[in-house]
Amino acid sequence: MEMIMIGLLGAIMGILITTPIVYSLHVHPIQLTGEMAESIAEYGMEPIMPAAWEAGYFFNQAGIVLIIVCIAVAIPILSVTRLKVNKALRA
């Protein structure tokens, strides 16, 4: 339970911390300069690097983290359930 709670807390904190940063980069994209800006302008695009602002990205990534945590929790639980009590006490 502790590992699941830590994973859930980490996913929630990750969403809360990164949301303002990504929103700021969405509103004020990074301006590219120098040769990189020139090469991008040759293709007819603006020399900026915007951040995608879609809520689905945050929740999909948090869901993937929680799935990985559940798999990481399942492995020790399965090994403990297969453990023979008498054999464990003697070892």
pLDDT tens sequence across 35-49:
999 999 999 999 999
Tally of domains in the chain:
1
3-state secondary structure 15-66: HHHHHHHHHHHHHCCEECCHHHHHHHHHCCCCCEECCCCCHHHHHHHHHHHH
pLDDT tens sequence across 8-24:
999 899 889 988 999 99
Domain that holds residue 85: 2-90
Q: Which helix (H) or strand (E) holds 78?
A: helix 55-81
d(CA 38, CA 34): 6
Judge contact between 69 and 4, C-beta under 8 A.
yes
Confidence of residue 71 (pLDDT cuts 50, 70, 90): very high
- Asked if residue 60 has pLDDT above 80, the reply is yes
- Please identify which residue in the block is written with the tokens 């990504």: 22
pLDDT score at 54: 85
